[in-house]
Amino acid sequence: MHIRTIIRKISVLCLCMTFSYVSAQRYEAEHGDFYSVRMASDQGGYSADGYVEFLSYDESSVGISVTVPADGLYSVVLRVLAVPGQAVSSRVKVECDESTYVCSQRLPPLGQFGNVQVNAPVQLIKGSHVFYITGLGGKWMLDYIELNSVSGGQVSKINFSPLVTAHPSKEAQSLYAYLCSMRGKGILSGQQIYSRTPEIKAIADITGEYPAVLGIDFIDYSPSRVAFGTHGSTTQEALKCWESGGIVSACWHWNAPAGLINKNEPDKHWYDGFRTTATTFDFVKGLDDHGSEEYKLMLRDIDVIAGQLKILQKAGVPVLWRPLHEASGGWFWWGAKGKDNYIRLYKLVFDRLQNYHKLNNLIWVWNGQNPEWYPGDEYADIVSYDVYPDKREYSAHTDKLSLLQSCTEHPKLLAFSENGTLPDIEKLAAECAPWSYFCTWDGEFAVNKQGKYSGTYTDEETFKRYYADDYVITRGELPDFRNK
């Protein structure tokens, strides 16, 4: 067992300590400094003199001065009223002293004032501080904030929701529990492949390690590609990875079920069928009319992929499952008809796999890239972002952290489900950033035409240094999820 693994096991034990809240201090929002917000008293149920109303545009905020009696860890409670039925969901960002990012999250549409606990506590020193509560969208009201001193240690315990899959397999539960326990303790290394594994060998050749996560794509199982002669092989690669002690992540560049333009023009070939530019397929017609050919074809395609997922389920393989990714960009057909239709399609995929096929090995990874496209906490276990910075531009992507956390009402795991250049692992480690894994995309992002490590996006020395960093978890450091 790696010494790094032993240290992490000790850290996980510390993480599982139980905390209690021993005191509370309340600070009224109307006593703060206003930035594009207004004081109001139209709604009933507030305390003291009134509340602060956040308007529907971004970045309005209030600065609230607080004084804490002692050094320690503090939870933050917001007493808010988020208006039901708003076209834009209400979201909030919490910062402290203009330099400490605390958390972002979606506010539940309560319809009356109620308490919402911020998803992450903050470490404060004795004395005065200013909390900045910033609106990220939607109309909502803030009555006050409340600080609660947390006893029991310096590490926060996050209570994650159970898996959204009904009756999940023991392997899926084991993997999910591990990912939850490792929040802020390390980031799993990952690598995407297409249909073979030169990337994995190239990584092992220069680092002596294998990535913890193997990313696969079910693209070539799409029936409209099979009709042109493709033959998917990534399910077999996933089985090999699992038997070797790795974790499987799967996406699906869904070639449109029909309506392929197939012209000899850029982004219009049959093999570009997942692109908006390459198909005339109208999935909204299918969603609106369950007797339509479009609906039948969508179910046919989903069922084909379900067959591959069932092969993995039978072998006991849990899957970090990321369907309908990058939707809000509009470059894929499933995102070309707006967020409401995308969410309807996402829920169709979820329902078909969950309730019709009874798949129990899936950990659902949502990757719409925009909080307004989020289907809801009951449809995702992990929220993720695909990052492609410039070549050799290493970043901690704190803005993406805030964006993803603002998607959900309750804490969810976070991931870089795709990346070109690697994130700045050293900064992530210094900040104990709660990213579960990264997954470098295939081809030029990892290897050259000779199948050797390319260094084009992440230079070789940086790559080797990152893979050797204590914060990066490789395959050899994973527990055995198969025997738990």
> Which residue, 250, 230, 241, is CA-closest to 349?
250
- What 3-state class would DSSP assign to 413? strand
Distance CA 148, CA 411 (A): 18
List of residues 6+ apart from 483 with CB closer than 8 A: none
- List 53, 95, 418, 477, catalytic entry: 418
Run of H or E residues at 234: helix 234-243
- 298, amino acid identity: M
Strand partners, 52: 39, 142
Distance CA 191, CA 453 (A): 12
List of residues 6+ apart from 87 with CB closer than 8 A: none
Which residue is listed with tokens 């990012």?
Answer: 101
Token pair listed for 466: 């990152």
- 326 catalytic? Reply is yes
- List 199, 326, 409, 477, catalytic entry: 326
Contact (CB, 8 A) for 432 and 155: no
Distance CA 356, CA 252 (A): 19
Token pair listed for 92: 């909030």
Output the 3-class SS for 41-62.
CCCCCCCCCCEEEECCCCCCEE
What angle do the packed helices 198-207 and 460-468 form, to 10 degrees? 80
Q: Which residues are catalytic?
A: 326, 418
